[in-house]
Amino acid sequence: MEPDFDLLVIGGGINGCGIARDASGRGLSVCLAEMNDIASATSASSTKLFHGGLRYLEYFEFRLVREALIEREVLLKAMPHIAWPMRFVLPYHKSMRFDLSTPTSKILSAVMPWMKGRRPAWLIRLGLFMYDNLGGREILPGTTRLDLRSAPEGKPLKKRFEKAYEYSDCWVEDSRLVVLNARDAEQRGASIRTREKVVSANVVDGVWHVEMQNTLTGAGTKVTAGMVVNAAGPWVGDVLRGTLKSNQQGNVRLVRGSHIVTKRLFEHDKCYFFQGTDGRIIFAIPYETDFTLIGTTDADHPDPSQKPECTPEECDYLINFINEYLENPIEAVDVVWSYSGVRPLYDDGASSASAATRDYVLKLDKSRGAPSLNVFGGKITTYRRLAESALDLVSEVYPKTPKSWTAGVALPGGDFPVDGVDNLIKAATSRYPFLTNRWAKRLVRAYGCEVHDILGDANSVADLGVDFGADLTEREVIWLIDKEYARSAEDVVWRRSKLGLRMTKAQITNLDIWIQSHLQADQSAVAQGGQ
């Protein structure tokens, strides 16, 4: 029989949506099933960075770092509205230690035992030299030195930090990245089905017969596919063995990463890269204009069904960590929000969660009579390359699949120059004089050149409908429902945006009531139209 789809992708995180987009753009018919909201788990809970992974050099992960470094600029060109360059400040002092379990530290400790685990300045500079040159740079500037005694970057820090290295990486709006990949996949023909959980998958005559259940209504759906792609993130092992009933070897190590958010701790727009006495690192990042994002932790999280949360111990760890650097220490009462995500890392047998590889592993399984592809690990920076690698394996099943195409191709709203954000903001405030500069900037940073599609012919704030607070209006919410799969206030204020930081609980509740009412009205209209 001819299947409904060439590919059924299980999982609406960055890997699943990236694969769906790439495959759809190559002419394959694709169905993506996500049991919750798009980017509802790991992909919305990252540290929001496109980075090569400076510390991975200590683990000799040169291929991964090189690939990620190259990808930074490829991705910047494709999504300049939701990703942008950022400078990172790495303070240095003589007593700083590093993880004695890394390959680099073991070699140095053997050759120079007097170091006692310290990262010497020459080692940091060597790492940054490699970081500057492994992947090549066209947009991002290289490493420089800072004198923290006179530089503004030294003002928030304790006086014992006198010098620092400054290097380049990039920021990304992680959950928006996932949504835009899903939208682009849909525009290229994919069927994106949120709130649809794959409950069974069986092979009949060389074709996958898949049953799905809507997690909101309980309604069942059946589809057939020539191939299944298991990109279920933390649930990849459950899907592999429970749903696909595969005996293929491959284990995932679930690692919880927690973050805290405080009011803004420094005035400049650069990020700090802090090293701890336990060998770990954290970032302190300018966040949503008025806040600072601090993270992350690394802790094993063996049960994917247990919702990850930043524990009091993890919160204290991050506070104590950053207070080793800050002139004005923070306390638990300064934390305005926290979040936690589970990273599904490939289990390479590392002794600690921090040491587990961030590389991805793809395994093609043909043992069931119809092929499946299982995706282990990965990091947000290399999602596009992971998708290309996945399609290389898909091409073994569908040999007429065209070659890769996604490098540099703009995501929705991103078809403008990397340095064009300011011009879009000016155009928006000129066309819509009722927008404040701050409001226009938020809209452009979220939607890029699609801002005009959202605001349409509005001539005043009143034309945008209900004001839900924090400059969130009815017209924007309808766009998020119709175009970006939003079905709840949580989807809107914590994943499509971070307006939950600025809205009251009452405002969020009212928004959710409005969304549910709007969805019910739409369903009633569809039902009446079908009669």
Question: pLDDT for 431-490, tens place per residue?
Answer: 999 999 999 999 999 999 999 999 999 999 999 999 999 999 999 999 999 999 999 999
* Closest by CA position to 98, among listed 116, 77, 114: 116
Relative to beta strand 196-204, strand 207-214 is: antiparallel
Q: Helix or strand or coil: residue 137?
A: coil
Name the amino acid, one letter, at 99.
Answer: D
For residue 285 the two structure tokens come to: 């990042």
What is residue 138's predicted lDDT score, i.e. its pLDDT? 83
Q: Tell me the two tokens of residue 494.
A: 């914590």
Rounded Cα gap, residues 28 and 432, in angstroms: 41
Using DSSP bridges, classify how beta strands 252-263 and 299-300 pair: parallel, antiparallel or unpaired.
antiparallel
Which run of H or of E encompasses 23?
helix 14-25
How big is the CA angle at 524 (ends 518 and 526), to the nearest 5 degrees?
105
Q: How many CB atoms lie within 10 A of CB 170?
A: 22
Whole-number Å distance between alpha carbons of 128 and 165? 9
Which 3 state secondary structure label does DSSP give 413? coil
Q: How far apart are CA 109 and CA 112, in angstroms?
A: 5
Q: Position of tokens 């069942």?
A: 220
Q: Exposed, middle or buried by CB within 10 Å (0-12, 13-18, 19+), for 263?
A: exposed
Give, in degrees to the nearest 5, the angle at Cα 44 between 276 and 218: 140
**Do residues 182 and 176 touch, judged by C-beta distance below 8 A?**
no
The Cα–Cα gap between 186 and 176 comes to: 15
pLDDT at position 429, please?
98
380 within 8 A of 174, measured Cβ to Cβ: yes
Going through 378-492 in order, the beta strands assigned E by DSSP cover 467-469, 472-473
As a whole number of angstroms, the distance between CA 141 and CA 143 comes to 7
Structural domains of the chain sorted by starting position, each given as residue range(s) with its CATH number in brackets:
5-43+175-251+358-397 (3.50.50.60), 83-172+253-346 (3.30.9.10), 421-529 (1.10.8.870)
Of the CA atoms within 13 Å of residue 236, those in its CB half-sphere come to: 35
Under 8 Å CB-to-CB from 427, ≥6 apart: which residues? none
pLDDT per residue over 231-240, tens digit each? 999 999 999 9
Residue 508, phi then psi, degrees to nearest 5: -65, -40
CA distance 92 to 210: 55
Total residue length of the chain: 531
Please name which of 120, 166, 122 lies closest in space to residue 146, comparing C-alpha atoms.
166
Residues of the chain with pLDDT under 70: 59, 94-119, 250, 348-358, 530-531
Is residue 326 within 8 A of residue 158, CB to CB? The reply is yes
Phi–psi pair at 74, nearest 5 degrees: -60, -45
CA count, 13 A, side-chain hemisphere, 31: 23
Phi, psi of 519 (to 5 degrees): -65, -40
Tokens representing 314 are 């993890």
d(CA 141, CA 166): 10
Q: Per-residue pLDDT tens for 245-294?
A: 988 876 788 999 999 999 999 999 999 999 888 878 999 999 999 999 99
pLDDT of residue 379: 87
Q: What is the DSSP letter of 264?
A: -
357 exposure class (CB count in 10 Å sphere: 0-12, 13-18, 19+): buried
For residue 104, what pLDDT is reported? 47
Per-residue confidence (pLDDT) for residue 202, from 0 to 100: 96
* Maximum Cα interatomic distance, the chain, rounded to a whole number of Å: 82
Q: pLDDT at position 64, please?
A: 81
Q: Which helix (H) or strand (E) holds 388?
A: helix 383-397
